């Protein structure tokens, strides 16, 4: 039915996914900074909320919310690693779609094992 992926948010593996899931992933990746509900994602896929959630999780290997958070984290990571972007962490959090800096920092540390500030310092030393 679906090729399950544990890779996380990366639309390069979506070619084999059903069209409704590709539409939902497109919506998430284009609007990750907005408040997206499961209802909106399911509507984009043309499916009921419960069936959409089950199919998305089966196909992608993450729940729709987990995928959304990973998209936001990936964007935050890019902003932190780019020397030209010298945004304060609070602005990185907002631009990535997190409710506040604490929420962003908590998710970032859980995903990357370091704080956003430590990540920024390490990433910029490598350049």
Q: pLDDT by residue for the chain (127 residues), tens digit each? A: 444 443 445 544 555 556 899 999 999 999 999 999 999 999 999 999 999 999 999 999 999 999 999 999 999 999 999 988 789 999 999 999 999 999 999 999 999 999 999 999 998 787 5
- Residues 63, 65: Cα–Cα separation, whole Å: 5
pLDDT for position 46: 94
For residue 84, count CB atoms less than 10 angstroms from its CB and return exposed for 0-12, middle for 13-18, buried for 19 or more.
exposed
- Residues 75, 111: Cα–Cα separation, whole Å: 13
Let me know: does 111 contact 119? Beta carbons within 8 Å.
Answer: no
Q: Give the side-chain half-sphere CA count within 13 A for 122.
A: 9
DSSP E strands in the chain: the ranges are none
pLDDT for position 8: 47
Task: Residue 82: give the domain boundaries.
Answer: 71-125
Q: Which residues of 50-59 are buried (b: 16+ CB within 10 A; e: fewer)?
A: eebbebbbeb
Single out the residue in 67, 82, 103 at which a domain terminates: 67
**Domain for residue 46, yes or no?**
yes
pLDDT for position 23: 94
* CATH code (residue 118): 1.10.10.60
The count of domains in the chain is 2
- Residues 116, 80: Cα–Cα separation, whole Å: 7
Is residue 53 domain-shared with residue 22, that is, in the same domain? yes
pLDDT for position 124: 79
pLDDT for position 85: 79
């Amino acid at each position: 039915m679906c090729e399950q992926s544990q890779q996380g948010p990366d639309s390069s593996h979506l070619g084999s996914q059903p069209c409704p899931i590709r539409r939902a992933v497109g919506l998430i990746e284009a609007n990750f900074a907005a408040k997206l509900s499961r209802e909106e994602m399911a509507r984009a896929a043309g499916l009921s909320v419960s069936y959409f959630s089950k199919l998305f999780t089966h196909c992608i290997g993450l729940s729709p919310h987990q995928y959304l958070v990973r998209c936001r984290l990936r964007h935050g990571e890019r902003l932190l690693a780019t020397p030209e972007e010298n945004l304060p962490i609070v602005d990185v959090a907002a631009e990535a779609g997190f409710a506040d800096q604490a929420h962003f920092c908590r998710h970032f540390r859980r995903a990357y094992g370091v704080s956003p500030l430590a990540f920024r310092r390490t990433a910029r030393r490598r350049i």
